Amino acid sequence: MTRPVNNQPQRSSKKTDKKRLRKKQAVLVKRCVQALNSNADFFRSKISNTHPSQSAKTQSDGTLKHFKPVRIETVNKSTISEAVDMLESKFTIEEPDQKEEKE
């Protein structure tokens, strides 16, 4: 009696699959960190109106840069009230209750 021959290939070991997955995950994490660094640098430059530094783009060891402190200028109350007056003259906000009363 002969055994039936299986046409299925032998299974590969799980260790190689795990190693391959770990390598893929490590590459993916590295790319994500680089993207976060470049986005943070762009955001920082947009707020402070300066050119983006090259430090975050050249760094490829996977560490996140700390945000540099940014000074935010505040607006006077008179400027805000002028803006509110201007917007009120152009736009009106109606409450849902007011629509029902008009009908």
Give SS3 for 13.
coil
User: If 0-12 CB within 10 Å is exposed, 13-18 middle and 19+ buried, where does residue 101 land?
Assistant: exposed
Q: Which range, 7-21, 38-52, 64-78, is most confident?
A: 7-21
**For residue 52, which amino acid is it?**
P
Cβ pair 33, 62 in contact under 8 A: yes
Structural domain boundaries in the chain: 15-102
50-66 pLDDT per residue, tens: 554 554 454 555 555 66
pTM greater than the 0.85 cutoff: no
